[in-house]
Amino acid sequence: LEWKIIYVGSAESEEYDQVLDSVLVGPVPAGRHMFVFQADAPNPGLIPDADAVGVTVVLITCTYRGQEFIRVGYYVNNEYTETELRENPPVKPDFSKLQRNILASNPRVTRFHINWEDNTEKLEDAESSNPNLQSLLSTDALPSASKGWSTSENSLNVITLEGRKLIGDDKSERQVNFEESQFSKLGHEDGRKKV
């Protein structure tokens, strides 16, 4: 499994997306698993000035054999800490006076059907023979958000990712749980990576 944390630098173009870090995990046997995934903060020099202040998104993605099967998005609000700067923002953003608030309590989860084995016929057969598969993969299958983010100085941490088997065979459809947290503040300088 390859996990990535991606900071969306601009809603206009993927060109400004920054992969903050990626990590390979596995092989992973069926069951509950946890790991700490901490990444550097985004490079402010790669964020367009027009998109530096306001709302954006941080994504956590996971792929299996190059196929993305889950994407978890968190809204992020970048705002000035001083009232005067909020009311009259400078033309050139002052990153030293910005703070980043992550709405960790309300992630947007998107799941994708993938081929867990190397045979596309098996994926199609599983979908047509198991009408409950869709409900297992629906948004309702995941509990509400839980502790997804924490901060430490100037770094971004994703904590307590748990994979749990959803169906009874080895096709291993998985879900990701996060434990609860409030808005978290995130610094703008480089942090340290810990996996």
Q: Is the peptide bond before 131 cis (omega within 30 degrees of 0)?
A: no
Q: What is the mean pLDDT of the chain?
A: 71
Summarize pLDDT for 114-142 with one digit per residue, the tens: 998 866 555 555 444 444 433 333 333 33
The CA–CA distances, whole Å, from 90 to 95, 133, 136 equal 11, 51, 48
pLDDT score of 120: 56
Identify the CATH number of the domain defined by range 2-186: 2.60.40.1490
- CB atoms < 10 A from the CB of 41, how many? 21
- Per DSSP, the three-state class of 40 is strand
pLDDT > 70? residue 169: no
> How much is the pLDDT for 36?
86
Give the C-alpha distances (Å, rounded to integers) separating 126 from 81, 111, 133.
52, 16, 8
Closest CA to 183 of 126, 94, 106: 106
Q: What percentage of the chain exceeds 90 in pLDDT?
A: 51
155 backbone dihedrals φ, ψ, rounded to 5°: -130, 165
Residues 41, 36: Cα–Cα separation, whole Å: 16
Q: Is the pLDDT of residue 72 over 80?
A: yes
By the 8 A CB rule, do 158 and 4 touch? no
> Does residue 27 or residue 173 have the better pLDDT?
27
pLDDT in the model for residue 76: 95
CB 5 within 8 A of CB 59: yes
**147 C-beta neighbours (distance < 10 Å), count:** 17
pLDDT single digits (tens) 25-68: 888 888 888 888 889 999 999 999 999 999 999 999 999 999 99
3-class SS at 102?
strand
| Residue 7: how many other CB atoms lie within 10 Å | 23
Which pLDDT value is given to residue 119? 61
